[in-house]
Structure 1
Amino acid sequence: MTLDFSLSDDQQAIRDTARDFIAREVMPLENDVLAREHRGEKGLPAEDLRALQSKAQEFGFWGIGTPEAFGGAALPAVTQSLLWTEVGRTFVPFVFGGEADNILFRATAAQQEEFLKPTLAGDRVSCFAITEPNAGSDATAIRMRAKQDGDHWVLDGEKTFITKGVEADFSIVIAVTDAEKGHRGGFTAFLVDRSMGWESSPIHTMGPSTPASMSFDGVRVPHANVLGEVGEGFKLAMEWIGRGRYVIPSRAIGAAERLLTMAIEYAGQRETFGVPIGEHQMIQTMLADCELDLEAIRWPVLVAAWSIDQGLDARHASSLAKLGGATAAGRIVDRVMQIHGGMGYTKEMPIERWYREARLWRIFEGTDEIQRRTIAKGLLSGRRRVGGHLA
């Protein structure tokens, strides 16, 4: 058996172009973003994001995961992972344009015109709403009801911690349509425009993101707005969540690489007891441990993306990537702050900002505990053989 971990020439070229773009166009905005966030404002104005996305489009970075039928590049998951790593090198909240929630591509022709195409063009903003006050990690426990009334469905209930729920024009809402069937056939996905009557309010967090609490009080949704088929909402939800489990750790790798580079540079400049701190064994240990964590998460993330490209069941690999990436990145940013001492704790440097953001990586798109549960169940059930990727 031959093991080949090398990147193709195309992958290297795409990665290097993205790295240059992020360094030249996005990183210079970091001080402005920090200043805005310190004033309580959003990290990047919408018009600035659109301008950056337009520049990226000139280099071919548009719709990196979007099917070619919709004008996207439809890049393989491994290549997308490499790109998200480059994006992760900066804390500026930048994303490539021409993207939409992956399950929106299941939309009907009419739904595509109203929801999908405007989202790809950047004219509309969507959010995905499944989490509820009493249903977080256990997505099967949602209670929002959708009752059919003629050719409409009436939605009642609450959603919480919804990313982009404050600014969204419409939401993909998962609701219970048949409680007796449970999540296997009893959940349905709906496309719900804000004009239909749902309301949202911001939830202020310790990090830069501001998720939303959403309320639905007798919101009437046409049957034509069912996404997919009635009863397949849970399957669509898992498909949506699955993508984040390799994108999030991909971005974490980029952040970890940038942070470790900062620590190495500081260790060579800062002096104590007449020598650079990098000559002290304790600092060397922290740098070595950061490098070990970084390389230990890089390959599980790429294996998860590769599994998706191969059409394999990627649940186990994705959980390994999400759990390993989130926890290791947290350890790295903690050590980097320690190496910088008091300066690392100040808002004059971006380390504390990354520290707060990294803590969220262990919670959303499946907590550490949920990832461990998935990994263990795979092993205990026999779906996953120990050393299966090397068999």
Structure 2
Amino acid sequence: MNFELTDIQREIQRMTREFAAKELIPNARKWDEHHAWPTDAVKKLAELSLLGVAVPEQNGGAGLDNVCYAIAMEEISRGCASTGVIMSVNNSLYCDPIMKYGTDAQKEQFLAPFARGEKLGCFGLTEPEAGSDAAAQKTVAVRKGDEYVINGSKNWITNGPKADAIVLMTMTNKEAGHKGITAFMVPTDTPGFIRAEPDKKMGISAAWSCSMFFEDMRVPAKYMLGKEGEGFKIAMSTLDGGRIGIASQALGIARAAYEEAVRYSGERKSFGKPIREHQAIQFMIADMATEIDAARLLVWRAALQKDKGVRHSAESAMAKLYASEMASRVANKALQVHGGMGYSKEMDVERHVRDARITEIYEGTSEIQRIVIAANLLRE
């Protein structure tokens, strides 16, 4: 068992930490306040090869491992959680399934430009009546010759307003249940593809999401990802990897809140001394640091399992469950350390509280993670 990072992993950590300090932290509050898409930051992610971290170089990516990806996601999210999830969706939810299930021709068209950051991808699974019950898909794809005609809708699609293509889950055989779900790669400029206005959310306000509608949208059969009926399997394996990204995002948010609490506790004085000299504050700081370190070990274990090519459903779910709930606990304790100032928009910590909350919901709620974990444990 080796807890030391490799030279490459340390370099990724250094590079992304410097980028976050220079480009993200100074702008994150402004982007959040104005609900502004971080255009320049996303371009820089592409320049740093961070939009296809674990994608092989021959497919346009950086060719690094998933531990590098987790490290980068933590650092980027420590700087700006919105930028972090934009990065996570393109890496985990878009590039990863195409890398795993796509043909060579599909990878050339739908993977390489996205891994290079020339284009941006998104993932369409969630529907108004298919959230935690992901198999309850209502979006229907009907074969018509060499095409499929798709009708339906998706919602809460992160990157949706800006994406150039989507990995889209559809129902091709209702009678087959979850085995009747089929995945497609669809350019967003396809006729019949309609995007609503960006959602108004509590947090991650700079990471735009939206609802999408498909009205007699014709998609070539060659754009099918995997085989007909394999969509649910593709979606679930994709989410196994996506949960590593979201766990890393939660870790970054928690670290941001923790570091700001530590700094503030040295500046703020009460009863004639810095508040960090009061035991009540020391206990909160100790708890925060311990939880952050514990979450990081779970995240890196899941990433390492993925790098080994072994099943990591339980490990990813554990990492996502613990890191997300930890992020909310840490962010709230950090706000408490700030006292009344923590409730003010003048401080970043209130944003971390809002940003942390979504990590317990998207890419599988905490309740779904517990179901996944228990199912894997009891199957053994």
TM over 0.5: yes
Which digits, 9 at most, give the CA deviation of each residue in 1:250-280, with x for residues without a partner? 1222222232121112112211121211122
Report which stretch shifted further, 102-111 or 239-248. 102-111
The higher radius of gyration belongs to 1
Alignment partner, residue 111 of structure 1: 106
| 1:205 is the counterpart of 2:201 | yes
In the other structure, the counterpart of 2:147 is 152
Structure 1: runs of 5+ lacking an equivalent: 383-391
Residue aligning to 2:245: 247
Task: Select the residue among 213, 216, 221 that pairs with 1:215.
Answer: 213
Listed as ranges, the matches of 1:94-243 within 5 Å are 94=83, 101-105=95-99, 106-184=101-179, 186-194=180-188, 195-201=190-196, 202-207=198-203, 208=205, 209-243=207-241
Q: Describe the shift of the 1:264–1:189 C-alpha distance in structure 2 as closer, same or farther (beyond 3 A).
A: same
Deviations 1:203-245 (A, max 9, x none): 2111114321111122121212212221111121112212111
Cα distance per residue 1:103-144 (max 9 Å; x no partner): 122333443444333323434332211111111011111121
Match of 1:338 in 2: 336
Over 3 Å counting, the alpha-carbon distance change for 1:159 and 1:35 in structure 2 is: same
1:297 aligned residue (295, 298, 311): 295
1:237-276 aligned at under 5 Å gives the runs: 237-276=235-274
Identity of aligned residues (%): 38
Question: TM-score, with normalisation over the residues of structure 1?
Answer: 0.88
CA shift for structure 1 position 189: 0.8
Give me the TM-score of the superposition, normalised by structure 2: 0.90
Give the equivalent residue in structure 1 for 2:42. 49
Instruction: Look up the equivalent residue of 2:95 and give its one-letter code.
Output: D
What's the CA shift string for 1:50-81, capped at 9, x where partnerless? Answer: 14542x35xxx573211122232221212221
Deviations 1:304-350 (A, max 9, x none): 11111222210011110000000001100000001101111111111
**8 Å Cα contact 1:196/1:221 also seen in 2:** no
- What is the aligned counterpart of 1:72 among 54, 57, 61? 61
Q: Distance in 2 between matches of 1:203 and 1:25?
A: 25
Q: Could you tell me how far apart the structure 2 residues matched to 1:366 and 1:198 are?
A: 26
1:298 CA drift (Å):
1.5
Task: State the match for 2:10 in structure 1.
Answer: 12
Number of corresponding residues: 370
The corresponding residue for 1:279 is 277
1:4-43 to 2 correspondences below 5 Å: 4-28=2-26, 30=27, 33-39=28-34, 41-43=35-37
In terms of mean alpha carbon deviation, does 302-311 or 63-72 score higher?
Answer: 63-72
C-alpha distance 204-25 of structure 1, shift in aligned 2 (>3 A): closer
How far did 1:92 drift? 6.2
Aligned-residue RMSD, C-alpha: 2.2
Distance 1:244-1:86 versus aligned 2 partners, 3 A rule: same
